[in-house]
C-alpha cells in the first residue's frame, strides 16, 4: 500500500557545472537520470504526492520527458539558491501530508529498501536520512599542507532522501531564510533549530552523479544487477 501521509520533493535545480551540462537529462540505461529516482519513489507514494523542483528554463523539457514515461507530477519553479528552491517546493504542497522527503535527482540509484527504512525511522524519531561511515582516512589541511588526521569514527557522509515532519521542516526553512543562514542540505535545517535527525546506515549504492565518471559507474552498477 502506498503512503498517503508522505510527500516527496525531487530537487532538480542544479546547474551541472562540474558535469559540463545538465547531468539529470543524461541517459542512464536508456532513461534520463532524473527519471530513475522518481520511478522508485512512485512505488512508495502516488503521483499526487510528488513534485519536481527545477529551474524555470528547464521546466518544459522536464514536463515533456515525464510525459514520455506517463508520469504526471507537479513541477515547481526553483529559486536562486537550493534553500529557496526547496522552500518553494514546501510552500506549494497542496496535498495533506504529515511527513516530507527531499531527494536529490542526481541520486538515481536510491532503493525502495532505504526509502522504507528512512520512513520508519522518521515516524519514530521525527526525522531521518541515509548515511555511510567514511572509509577513507580524513585529513585536515591548511592551504597546501596537511595539518593532522581527523578521527573518522563519528563522521558519516550524508545522502538523500532526507525525511522530516512537514510542519517542523517548513518552520525551519522560514527561520533559515529570515536569518539568511547558508546551508547545503536539509538536515542542516534541523541543526539550526536544534532538532535531531536519525541516520540510517546505508551500505547500498546511492551514488550522486557529479562527474561523467559517476554516470559510468552508475551504469556499471546497474548492469551488475541484471
Query: Quick check: is 149 in a domain?
Result: yes
Query: Quick check: is 46 in a domain?
Result: yes
CA dist., res. 23 & res. 211, Å (int): 8
Spell out the per-residue pLDDT of the chain, length 226, in tens.
899 999 999 999 865 556 557 899 999 999 999 999 999 999 999 999 999 999 999 999 999 999 999 999 999 999 999 999 999 999 999 888 999 999 999 999 999 999 999 999 999 999 999 999 999 999 999 999 999 999 999 999 999 999 999 999 999 999 999 999 999 999 999 999 999 999 999 999 999 999 999 999 999 999 987 6
The answer to whether the CB of 161 falls within 8 A of the CB of 189 is no
**Structural domain of 25:** 6-225
Query: Quick check: is 20 in a domain?
Result: yes
Tens digits of residue pLDDT in 125-139:
999 999 999 999 999
Query: Quick check: is 1 in a domain?
Result: no
Tens digits of residue pLDDT in 186-213:
999 999 999 999 999 999 999 999 999 9
CA dist., res. 74 & res. 70, Å (int): 13
Query: Quick check: is 198 in a domain?
Result: yes
The answer to whether the CB of 161 falls within 8 A of the CB of 195 is no
Number of domains within the chain: 1
Cα 187 to Cα 50, 103, 121, 128, 160: the distances in Å are 20, 12, 14, 8, 10
Domain CATH for 148: 3.90.550.10
Strands 50-54 and 162-165: unpaired
Query: Quick check: is 106 in a domain?
Result: yes
Amino acid at each position: 500500500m502506498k503512503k498517503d501521509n508522505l510527500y516527496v520533493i525531487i530537487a532538480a535545480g542544479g546547474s551541472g557545472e562540474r558535469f559540463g551540462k545538465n547531468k539529470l537529462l543524461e541517459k542512464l540505461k536508456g532513461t534520463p537520470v532524473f527519471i530513475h529516482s522518481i520511478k522508485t519513489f512512485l512505488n512508495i507514494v502516488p503521483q499526487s504526492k510528488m513534485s519536481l523542483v527545477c529551474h524555470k528554463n528547464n521546466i518544459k523539457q522536464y514536463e515533456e520527458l515525464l510525459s514520455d514515461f506517463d508520469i504526471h507530477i507537479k513541477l515547481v519553479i526553483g529559486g536562486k539558491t537550493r534553500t529557496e528552491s526547496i522552500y518553494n517546493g514546501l510552500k506549494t504542497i497542496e496535498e495533506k501530508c504529515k511527513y516530507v522527503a527531499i531527494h536529490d535527482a542526481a541520486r538515481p540509484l536510491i532503493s525502495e529498501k532505504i526509502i522504507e527504512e528512512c520512513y520508519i525511522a522518521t515516524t519514530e524519531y521525527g526525522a531521518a536520512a541515509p548515511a555511510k561511515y567514511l572509509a577513507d582516512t580524513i585529513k585536515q589541511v591548511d592551504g597546501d599542507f596537511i595539518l593532522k588526521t581527523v578521527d573518522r569514527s563519528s563522521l558519516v557522509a550524508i545522502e538523500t532522501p532526507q525525511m522530516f515532519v512537514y510542519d517542523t521542516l517548513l518552520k525551519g526553512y522560514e527561520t533559515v531564510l529570515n536569518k539568511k543562514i547558508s546551508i547545503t542540505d536539509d538536515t542542516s535545517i534541523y541543526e539550526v533549530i536544534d532538532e535531531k535527525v536519525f541516520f540510517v546506515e546505508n551500505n547500498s549504492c546511492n551514488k550522486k552523479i557529479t562527474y561523467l565518471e559517476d554516470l559510468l559507474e552508475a551504469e556499471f552498477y546497474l548492469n551488475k544487477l541484471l
